[in-house]
């Protein structure tokens, strides 16, 4: 059912492996510096993929990475990258990307500044009456400095028989020199070099915004053993090690608190605005910030498998996946550029050959047309928006697995929600304790807790927790027995106490052990109508009271569903719970439709029927809802931090149990689509205007550079607005 670009991506990023069965394959991850042009990146991928002994190649333009399956030495891959005009290095698994230095340390920046200074000197020299030969020499030096990288990349593209913007710029500059326009040629080269430098800076900034995720987790941890403390690198930690995190420090590893109590700021991972209290038995995540208390934490995941590492891996995968809009743009650009090149040739030669027009002015117009022809702004308009939006989402507690899903989210018309653990907290609490006789509420709760302390059932845990909150001391129970479908029983202070379902209350006029059950029937019915669960407590087969429990609504549920309905979205509940409980929750949150008593396969069938009519998203916990998540147009998992099943199954994951993140995701999706469309329309409009001016002879070369590089910078800046778009 999900056709949101997966097959296109597979075609676009992989080729059939050409290995023999007996050859040993290696998979190498390369970092590529200077990868600032989306179409140039595709040419680099094609070059590497064409090497003998290379199988599948996946190039992630957004992250600046390339994963290659090969049998050759890595040096051959790096040589191919270098021959294409880029710097590349092998990144070891689990290590952060190597920084390439500040923008001022890059040779491209330094040569661009030198080109600008020489151009300024040439213009000033012309004004001051400097000899023409010296002025021309300064213009030539300016072109040499600014054109160093342009010429290198252009020659690589010519060698590969894959002409690009750099080659077109070389032709335009040489053409300007050939007709004596030294000043214009120098201005064109400087502006193009400046545009490439700014574009490189913008893309580096976008990529760095994601790399900050990896920097959240400390590089060292304080290990505790035998009363001793010492620091070790996080990479050397093993499962079952115990680490100590002091107040104010970042937690270095995923783990379970075994000692201490503190409020932990989880916003870097889950996007939660308020600190979450953590005590013994609670799970904590790498990269979150400890509050005022000291915590001893049992390591439960290795550094390569912790939450931050998994988020980084999935976000990088997401950046590599193309949205449908981006796929359309790529196909369009593939036919657009050759068409304009043919048009430029026609502009240069047709007037001279068929209409006896002078060659030089039409040749100049053709040069302008060539410079305008490269669709840099159009090609980069969508990936920069996707990269920025996915990076922003990951920092705000929302993991989107690709541009296709980000775009699809804005088109969802129906949202289907699981009840337990999604709309509700999934942890029942005691609502009311009712004593039938002189036993009293506290004594009744004490007896029930004595029995349930040995039970693993959520209702039993809720009863024990309530007794602990009231500081009740309950005696040890003996001869504990659990009977599925019936209840639990044990001996407490010499009497047999049984916790069971109140089936006998259905016989309204019946008395048991001298207790008139009929008078409690209406109370129980009221609880049922509110979706509460009832358990009966019996002592020596005599009913002594009831305990009502309920699963509290998440505080964000009502507001989140209200906002979805205000946006004309349909909201549906799909649950395996009983109809009365489902209807009570549905009424509280304002559901349009509710279907209860569903098995996992029933949910899948309902989702399929809904999806036949309109785009449908399923929101669930990612475990028993996994089939429905997979069957929907978009599967959205709740509380994915630390949950492998949720991260693997869902297309979108809320890193905390907070439905407001879903509203944020819908808003971000909508804004991303708007910005992508703005960029596409702007890119095409600018090209159209300048192509028309060029054909009429009203555009010069520096205007053509603005039409290409200037437009690319503007769409990058517009796309980067998504890095902090929605809160």
Residue count (the chain): 727
Phi, psi of 425 (to 5 degrees): -75, -20
CB-based contact 410:618 (threshold 8 Å) = no
Compute CA distances 39 → 148, 383, 554, whole Å: 20, 11, 46
Half-sphere exposure (CA, 13 Å, Cβ side) for 307?
32
Residue with tokens 């208390």: 293
CB-based contact 651:3 (threshold 8 Å) = no
Q: Is 238 exposed, middle or buried (0-12, 13-18, 19+ CB in 10 A)?
A: exposed
Phi, psi of 297 (to 5 degrees): -125, 130
Phi, psi of 283 (to 5 degrees): -90, 140
Looking at residue 576, what DSSP letter applies? Answer: S
Which residue out of 12, 164, 418, 551 is catalytically annotated? 418
Of 17, 347, 426, 351, residue with least CA distance to 175: 347
Q: How big is the chain by its Cα radius of gyration, in Å? A: 33
* CA dist., res. 304 & res. 234, Å (int): 10
* CA dist., res. 436 & res. 725, Å (int): 58
For 482, the enclosing helix (H) or strand (E) is strand 477-483
* CA dist., res. 625 & res. 620, Å (int): 6
Spell out where 484-633 has E strands.
487-492, 495-500, 511-512, 515-516, 533-539, 542-550, 570-574, 593-595, 616-620
Looking at residue 215, what DSSP letter applies? Answer: G
CB-based contact 517:508 (threshold 8 Å) = yes
Residue with tokens 């029927």: 609
CB-based contact 162:43 (threshold 8 Å) = yes
* CA dist., res. 393 & res. 174, Å (int): 46
Is residue 418 part of the annotated active site? The answer reads yes
Which residues are tagged catalytic? 418
């Amino acid at each position: 059912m999900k056709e949101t670009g997966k097959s296109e991506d597979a075609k676009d990023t992989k080729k059939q492996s050409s290995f023999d069965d007996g050859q040993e394959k290696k998979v190498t991850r390369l970092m590529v510096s200077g990868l600032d042009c989306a179409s140039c990146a595709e040419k680099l991928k094609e070059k590497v993929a064409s090497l003998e002994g290379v199988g599948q190649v996946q190039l992630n333009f957004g992250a600046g990475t390339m994963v290659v399956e090969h049998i050759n030495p890595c040096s051959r891959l790096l040589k191919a990258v270098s021959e294409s005009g880029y710097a590349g290095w092998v990144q070891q698994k689990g290590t952060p990307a190597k920084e390439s230095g500040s923008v001022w340390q890059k040779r491209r920046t330094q040569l661009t500044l030198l080109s600008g200074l020489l151009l300024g000197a040439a213009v000033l020299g012309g004004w001051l009456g400097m000899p023409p030969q010296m002025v021309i020499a300064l213009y030539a030096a300016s072109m040499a400095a600014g054109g160093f990288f342009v010429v290198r990349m252009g020659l690589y593209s010519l060698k590969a028989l894959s002409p690009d913007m750099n080659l077109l710029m070389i032709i335009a500059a040489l053409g300007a020199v050939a007709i004596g326009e030294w000043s214009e040629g120098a201005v064109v080269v400087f502006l193009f070099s400046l545009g490439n430098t700014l574009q490189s800076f913008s893309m580096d900034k976008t990529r760095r915004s994601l790399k900050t995720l990896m920097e959240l987790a400390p590089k060292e941890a304080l290990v505790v053993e035998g009363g001793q403390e010492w620091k070790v690198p996080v990479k050397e930690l093993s499962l079952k090690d115990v680490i100590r995190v002091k107040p104010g420090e970042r937690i270095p590893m995923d783990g379970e608190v075994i000692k201490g109590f503190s409020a932990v700021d989880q916003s870097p991972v889950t996007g939660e605005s308020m600190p979450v209290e953590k005590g013994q038995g609670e799970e904590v995540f790498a990269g979150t910030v400890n509050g005022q208390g000291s915590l001893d934490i049992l390591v439960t995941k290795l550094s390569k498998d912790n939450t931050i590492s998994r988020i980084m891996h999935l976000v990088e995968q997401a950046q590599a996946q193309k949205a449908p809009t981006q796929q359309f743009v790529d196909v369009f650009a593939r036919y657009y550029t050759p068409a304009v090149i043919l048009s430029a040739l026609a502009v240069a030669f047709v007037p001279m050959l068929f209409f006896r027009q002078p060659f030089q002015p039409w040749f100049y117009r053709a040069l302008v047309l060539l410079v305008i022809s490269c669709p840099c702004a159009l090609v980069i308009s969508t990936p920069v928006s996707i990269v920025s939006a996915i990076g922003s989402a990951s920092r705000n507690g929302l993991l989107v697995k690709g541009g296709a899903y980000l775009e699809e989210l804005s088109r969802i018309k129906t949202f289907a929600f699981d009840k337990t653990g999604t709309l509700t907290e999934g942890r029942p609490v005691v609502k009311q304790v009712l004593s039938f006789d002189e036993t009293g509420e506290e004594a009744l709760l004490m007896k029930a807790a004595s029995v349930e302390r040995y039970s693993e059932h959520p209702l039993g845990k809720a009863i024990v927790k309530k007794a602990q909150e009231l500081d009740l001391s309950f005696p040890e129970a003996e001869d504990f027995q659990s009977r599925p479908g019936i209840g639990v029983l044990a001996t407490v202070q010499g009497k047999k106490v049984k916790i069971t379902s109140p089936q006998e209350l259905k016989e309204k006029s019946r008395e048991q052990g001298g207790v008139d059950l009929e008078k409690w029937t209406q109370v129980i019915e009221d609880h049922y109508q509110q979706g509460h669960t009832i358990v009966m407590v019996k002592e020596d087969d005599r009913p002594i009271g009831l305990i009502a429990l309920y699963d509290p609504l998440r505080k964000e549920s009502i507001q989140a569903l209200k906002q979805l309905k205000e946006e004309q979205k349909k909201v549906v509940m799909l649950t395996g719970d009983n109809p009365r409980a489902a209807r009570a929750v549905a009424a509280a949150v304002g559901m349009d439709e509710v279907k209860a008593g569903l098995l996992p396969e029933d949910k899948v069938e309902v989702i399929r029927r809904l999806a036949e009519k309109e785009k449908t998203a399923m929101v669930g916990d990612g475990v028993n809802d996994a089939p429905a998540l997979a069957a929907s147009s978009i599967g959205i998992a709740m509380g994915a931090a630390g949950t492998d099943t949720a991260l693997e199954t869902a297309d979108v994951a809320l890193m905390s149990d907070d439905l407001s993140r879903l509203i944020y995701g819908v808003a971000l999706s909508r804004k991303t689509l708007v910005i992508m469309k703005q960029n596409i329309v702007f890119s095409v409009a600018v090209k159209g205007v300048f192509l028309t001016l060029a054909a009429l002879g009203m555009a010069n070369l520096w205007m053509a550079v603005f039409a290409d590089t200037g437009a690319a910078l503007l769409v990058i800046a517009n796309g980067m607005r998504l890095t902090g778009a929605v809160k």
